[in-house]
Amino acid sequence: MPLKRMKRLLPLLASDEGSARFSARFGYDQQKDLIVDLSVDAELMLICQRSLEPYRELVRRNSRLAVIEDLAQQEQMPENYDPVLLDHGRMALLQIVEDELLLGLPQVPRNPALKEIELSTDGVVTPASEPGEEQLQRPFAGLAELLKEKARD
């Protein structure tokens, strides 16, 4: 299924190239409800929020969906099923696959291959930390001195 067709997903991507692969197996559960076992995977181009560079994110989702015809049926479904509402007796597979990809996106896209970033102030680029040396942040390091001065006053 081409990513170009997924209108809600497109604004979150760095590129609309590629496609999503999916498989859907239909069956009935013990209560005679129509169930869809859905598997979706795609390689999506996202923008890393640390480096602002594009990177590939592999999204894989497996879901068990229960097909319902009206919202009242949703209350009767077991909790381990995600409901899918039919639209005039039809199921929109494109929308279901797109929903799964949206649910699989990270809240804050970060390239896992990126170990360190470089910081820039006034055009001078400095590494975030020296190789092999961990940078320790102590935001309240000067607080003890301020408290001592305050006690002397």
**Count of domains forming the chain:** 2
142 and 99 co-located in one domain: no
pTM, to two decimals: 0.71
Q: Quickly state the pLDDT bin for 135 (edges 50, 70, 90).
A: low
Q: Examine residue 113 and state whether it is found in any structural domain, yes or no.
A: no
97 and 126 co-located in one domain: no
Flag whether pLDDT at 20 surpasses 70: yes
pLDDT in tens, 43-96: 999 999 888 899 999 999 999 999 888 887 878 777 888 888 888 788 889 999
On whether the CB atoms of residues 48 and 111 are closer than 8 A, the answer is yes
Q: Examine residue 111 and state whether it is found in any structural domain, yes or no.
A: no
On whether the CB atoms of residues 46 and 13 are closer than 8 A, the answer is yes
Sheet hosting strand 20-28, strand order edge to edge: 20-28, 34-47, 54-68, 82-85
52 and 80 co-located in one domain: yes
Q: Examine residue 86 and state whether it is found in any structural domain, yes or no.
A: yes
Domain that holds residue 84: 3-104
* Cα–Cα distance, 121 to 144 (Å, whole number): 29
92 and 122 co-located in one domain: no
Q: Examine residue 23 and state whether it is found in any structural domain, yes or no.
A: yes
59 and 23 co-located in one domain: yes
Q: Examine residue 75 and state whether it is found in any structural domain, yes or no.
A: yes
**Rounded to 10 degrees, what is the CA torsion of 23, 85, 92, 13?**
-80
129 and 95 co-located in one domain: no
